[in-house]
Amino acid sequence: MAECTPLSQITNTTSSTGRGGRSWTQRQHTPYTRTPRSRRLTGQGKTVPLARTPQAPRTLSRIKELVNKTWRLYKVTPLYKFDLGSLRKYSRLLSAHLDAEYRKGIAVGVESEVADSARFSLFKGLKGASGDSDAIEITVKAKPKSGQGESKVVLSAILCSVQLPDDAFLFPESFTFLPVMMVKGGVGLTKQIVSWLEHQFDCHITHMSFSPYDLSWMVAMWGGCVPETNSKPVEMMYTVPKEVEGLSRITMTIDAKVCKELWDSIRDPTNNRFTEEEEAAFIKSLESHFFYHFKVKLTAMYLNRVVTSIAVVDSSGRIKFYSDDHVHRVLRHITEVAVEQIQQK
Amino acid sequence: MMEREIFRKILGRLRKDELRPVLQEWGHLGKRLHEIDFSHSKHSVHSYVVKGFMKNYPNGHPDAVGKLDLLCLQKHSAKRTWAVYHLKKEQDSPPNDVADPKEFEQRLRRELGVDFKKMELCVLQHEKALWVRICISKGSKTKPMLKNATYCVHFPHTPVLIVTNMKAATAESIKQAFVNVLDYDDIQDIRLTGRCVKSLAQLSLNKYSQGSFSQYRLNQVDLQPLSHGKKRKRTESEESITDPRIVFVNQKEKKQRLEILNDTFGPNPQPTLEKIEYKLETKFHGNHYAPGMRNHTGPFHCRVKFEGTSVIEGIKNLGKTELAVVPLPDHLAKVHSLAKNHFVLQDKTKANKSVQDSQT
């Protein structure tokens, strides 16, 4: 059995130094990532809202629009001089840029649509704690080429930050940190918007991809979240290495109720954080159940796609939420992973 | 006209080099086939074909569409998923089987005509099997739609029927019609599905001669086992690296593993299956890592799916590359002899014993 350091030690070292960053002994000077010993599962950031303080009222929150759509995830470095007051100016600038690109001949929406207007707006309901910046939504509308018909939304992008981890790096006031960008729209249009954002705000936007290790954390943390309605079985899809000709994927689907029982049995309910040991126990127990029946080593395969009752995530960075109650939880984790991946660079 | 579009749709499924042989076999163009220049674009060739057909049969021909559709399907049978059914007979008496396509068509038409007033039926013989196309229209006035056609493959004098695209509404009638025509008592879905008709036929017909027994079926075993002559042909060594400085430490284990795999799977290429599904209803066996589950009674429901281009071959390769521990369990290694690809794994208990006995 791996030796475990006491949990109190871990939480102390990672969160005691506050927003100012880690002490010099813990800051990374190596190109390798340090695998986290535990992750936030539930729980708030520095500010814990009192039981009676109303959070953003549900009617204003637009989280329901995020559910049941496939989004592509990108990670965004801090934006320089992003001003919440000049959203209209940014909308104008982006529309002009898209128009110019179209005229240059870089066709966007080749078949029937001409990207017409872009709009920046505040996306309410996604802010996790008071330390987070407000979430921004960019919508691009397009009119069909024939000139008739009304314009419809062709791309929708949301930049957000949900409960930034306490030990994220420190940055001056002129920077806004919205590490996660979710995009739903065409590839060409996305590229143009990304290049404009990079140019305008001096940031760096890249695809977010998840390693099998990240995906196994996700399935371990969310495998036990079974909402009352619409529970889906927990599924893990592995791709087989190329040397094995003929077989391409192995999928293991576990009934939701039974998975929750397993999750409850390995979990320490008093702890707010999900530890590495719990994650290892979850994944290893499922893989050993598989090995007992088939004598096939799943540990040697690449975990490619993970489906739980609250979200489905795959290694290329595509995500789909199933339950609007748990969007916060999922995005909180995505924010943490995005920050880690940015810091790694 | 509707027929023109239907023709174009069917012809569009064929590749350019397949057009001429298929049209020749179709035969409804007659001499006009030689007038068509196949070097033109596909679109114009299709126009010529349709024009030629209209000239030959100005009032149309009832079976032309069906025959062409069936011929196209024979070339592209891998585009659809097929399911295998087994015909059952209670007594041991041989069924009144039929091998002649014409007679088969007549009998089938008689049977199906009882339930359905308007239908298209076409039976062709292709590679020792009877291919059947049944297209039933919903109302009495509407024409049968192309996408509603059900295709079946029957191997004469065997109880095997391979079917694709069977719609729920007409499934029972079609199944019953086959049972009556072929003089059996019942038909059962044996839970074997795939895309390659040949492989499915091999798995269901040669169920008891797969794996290493396939050598006997294919006549590969030494005809004179008692003669001890030296083998002229040297078997190629697995390792192509001939550097003398490299020493392979685990040659013996590798050889043993390959021997076991060859014993279970046989040296011949495996029949192709695209998917094998298992439904596990056994107790949880990951208790070493999750001690809290030791008290968990009741089955741990989960499903496992193996997918790929040729899954049985893939499982053999898993053993070869050491990603699986050899010897593999029977329900994984012996799939070639089990004639199904949807399995249910349960614990061996007294309650389940009666279920097992009834299934074998």
Among B39, B339, B26, B322, smallest CA distance to B204 is for B339
Q: Check CB contact of A288 with chain B, cutoff 8 Å.
A: yes
ipTM topping 0.90? no
From first to last of its 360 residues, chain B has per-residue pLDDT tens of 577 888 888 888 888 888 888 888 888 887 877 888 888 888 888 888 888 888 888 887 778 888 888 999 998 988 899 999 998 888 777 767 777 888 888 888 888 888 888 888 888 888 888 999 998 887 666 677 778 889 999 998 888 999 998 888 888 888 998 888 888 888 999 999 999 999 999 999 888 888 888 888 887 777 777 776 655 554 555 556 678 888 888 889 999 999 999 888 888 888 999 999 999 999 888 888 888 888 888 888 999 999 999 999 999 999 998 889 888 898 888 888 888 889 999 888 766 665 555 444
Six token digits for residue A116: 């017409």
From first to last of its 345 residues, chain A has per-residue pLDDT tens of 444 444 433 333 333 333 334 444 444 555 555 566 677 666 443 333 444 444 444 445 677 888 888 999 999 988 888 888 888 888 888 888 888 887 776 655 544 455 667 778 777 766 666 667 778 888 888 776 666 667 778 888 888 888 777 666 667 778 888 889 999 988 888 888 899 899 988 899 999 999 999 899 999 888 888 877 778 899 999 999 988 888 999 999 999 888 888 888 888 777 778 888 888 888 999 999 999 999 999 888 999 999 999 899 999 999 999 888 888 888 888 888 888 888 876
The answer to whether A253 contacts B296, with C-beta atoms less than 8 Å apart, is no
- pLDDT at residue A35, as a whole number: 61
Which among A250, A265, A300 is the nearest to B290, CB-wise?
A265
Which residues in A lie closer than 8 A to residue B315 (C-beta atoms)? 246-247
- pLDDT at residue A267, as a whole number: 83
The answer to whether A294 contacts B302, with C-beta atoms less than 8 Å apart, is no
CB contact at 8 A, B25 and B71 = yes
Strands (DSSP E) found in chain A: 38-40, 70-76, 79-80, 113-123, 135-144, 152-160, 175-176, 180-185, 205-207, 234-239, 249-254, 273-275, 302-307, 311-314, 318-321
Q: Mutate which of B265, B277, B284, B322 to test chain A, going by most A C-beta atoms within 10 A?
A: B284
Cα dihedral B64, B67, B68, B70 in deg (nearest 10): 160
The answer to whether B323 contacts A254, with C-beta atoms less than 8 Å apart, is no
- pLDDT at residue B20, as a whole number: 85
The answer to whether B285 contacts A288, with C-beta atoms less than 8 Å apart, is yes
Q: How far A240 CA lies from chain B's nearest CA (Å)? A: 9
Residue with the two structure tokens 């990374």 = A28
- Report d(CA B305, CA B311) in Å as an integer: 10
CB contact at 8 A, A210 and A313 = yes
- pLDDT at residue A149, as a whole number: 67
CB contact at 8 A, B262 and B255 = no
Q: How far B46 CA lies from chain A's nearest CA (Å)? A: 27
Which residues in A lie closer than 8 A to residue B311 (C-beta atoms)? 246-247
For residue A314, how far is the Cα from the chain centroid? 11
Q: Check CB contact of A48 with chain B, cutoff 8 Å.
A: no
Which among A246, A255, A300 is the nearest to B308, CB-wise?
A246
Which residues in B lie closer than 8 A to residue A238 (C-beta atoms)? none
The full 3-state SS of chain B, as one line of letters, equals CHHHHHHHHHHHCCCHHHHHHHHHHHCCCHHHHHHCCCCCCHHHHHHHHHHHHHHHCCCCCCCHHHHHHHHHHHHCHHHCCEEEEEEECCCCCCCCCCCCHHHHHHHHHHHHHHHCCCEEEEEEEECCEEEEEEEECCCCCCCCCHHHCEEEEECCCCCEEEEECCCHHHHHHHHHHHHHHCCCCEEEEEEEEECCHHHHHHHHHCHHHCHHHHHHHCCCCCCCCCCCCCCCCCCCCCCCCCCCCCCCCCHHHHHHHHHHHHHHHCCCCCCCCCEEEEEEECCCCCCCCCHHHHHCCCCCCEEEEEECCCHHHHHHHHHHCCCECCCCCHHHHCHHHCCCCEEEEECCCHHHHHHHHHHC
| Chain A, chain B: beta-carbon pairs less than 8 Å apart | 137
Among B38, B9, B6, B5, smallest CA distance to B23 is for B38
- pLDDT at residue A1, as a whole number: 41
Q: Give the residue on A whose Cα is nearest the Cα of B298.
A: A258
pTM as predicted: 0.81
For residue A325, how far is the Cα from the chain centroid? 16
- pLDDT at residue A58, as a whole number: 47
The answer to whether B309 contacts A295, with C-beta atoms less than 8 Å apart, is no
Cα dihedral A203, A207, A208, A209 in deg (nearest 10): -150
- Report d(CA A339, CA A325) in Å as an integer: 23
